[in-house]
Amino acid sequence: MRSLSFILLFLVWGVCGVQGATVFRICAFNIQSFGEGKASKTKVMHTIIIARCDVSLLQEVRDHRRKAFPQLLAQLNKYDSAHEYDAVQSERLGRSDTYQEQYVFVYSKQSLVNRDVCFSVFLPLTACSALKDFVLIPLHTSPNNTTKELDAVVDVFNDIRKKWKTENVIFLGDFNADCGYLAKKNRKNVRLITDPAFIWLINDKNDTTVRKSTDCAYDRIVVHGEKVARAIVPLSAKPFNFKKEFRLSEDQALEVSDHYPVEVLLKASASRQQQVSLSLLLILLALTFNCS
């Protein structure tokens, strides 16, 4: 038996209708070893991809002195003066002292309204979309253990369903769910794939990598729950090809990341005039599973 530890950030929110709202965009972006070195590159910092998202999950934030990410957030707020952005960060996580990263949720305060509370890991929020409540589960699997980690995510889901009485979940992040990291012969051993209740919105044909020499769907968005499925804008889940959008060369794009962000749109509320604040929770939680 092998002990497999997951440190997962759960983002739960209620939503409301807001005048003028059309869609609610959720993104996940492996920003590839983002630290002070990358933050010092002006052209990289000016490629503010996450400004298009209401909520964006960032992975591979490796900012051990906690200087690089504040620069990114400041640049984002300077770039988009019409919105104010804030973020919630996990602790530095990793399987060894030599590799640690943070999960970071960046959000527009116009979509998510932050109010202070007495305990730091609980954060009431509001948001605006047709979906009344759901859970975001970020995941960045180890390339060396993708099959077992993807399968164990279902244990995380079952724990959430039991404790929080919810079926509405969106899994997102760099799953490493393709090419050499997830062999086709192993997919039958992954419940997240074999259970039809989990709907994979980013399919195997979506290349989420920047390099022309690769064609792999590493980054994924997976949903569970009828309400979530109904709230998704049809065919909106896709990689965002920032290389093409910003007319970058491959080398220029690779300075930003070797991954494209993936995104999905949620429908706006049917009653845009209605404004209802709901109590939400942001919970940092460590879960440990035993996997054979």
- Selecting among 101, 149, 224, 259, the annotated active-site residue is 101
Q: What is the pLDDT of residue 97?
A: 65
Angle (CA) 26 62 27, round 5° = 5
Q: What is the pLDDT of residue 13?
A: 40
Q: Which amino acid is at 77?
A: N
Specify the pTM.
0.81
Among 273, 279, 272, 278, smallest CA distance to 130 is for 272
Q: What is the pLDDT of residue 187?
A: 95
Q: What is the pLDDT of residue 86?
A: 86
Long-range CB contacts (< 8 A, 24+ apart) of 162-168? Answer: 164/12, 164/135, 166/133, 166/134, 166/135, 166/225, 167/224, 167/225, 167/226, 167/227, 168/131, 168/133, 168/134, 168/135, 168/224, 168/225, 168/227, 168/228
101 has catalytic annotation:
yes
224 has catalytic annotation:
no
- Selecting among 46, 84, 140, 226, the annotated active-site residue is 140
What is d(CA 257, CA 254) in angstroms, rounded to the nearest whole number?
A: 5
Among 41, 33, 14, smallest CA distance to 123 is for 14
Q: What is the pLDDT of residue 238?
A: 97
Structural domain containing residue 115: 2-291
Total domains present in the chain = 1
Give the β-pairing of 133-138 and 169-174. parallel
Return the CATH number at 53. 3.60.10.10
Q: What is the pLDDT of residue 280?
A: 32
What is d(CA 254, CA 57) in angstroms, rounded to the nearest whole number?
A: 19
What is d(CA 146, CA 155) in angstroms, rounded to the nearest whole number?
A: 15
pLDDT along the chain (292 residues), means of 10: 35 39 84 86 82 90 84 86 81 68 83 34 36 78 92 90 85 94 93 97 96 97 93 95 94 94 82 32 34 36
Give burial (CB, 10 Å; 0-12/13-18/19+) of 51. Answer: middle
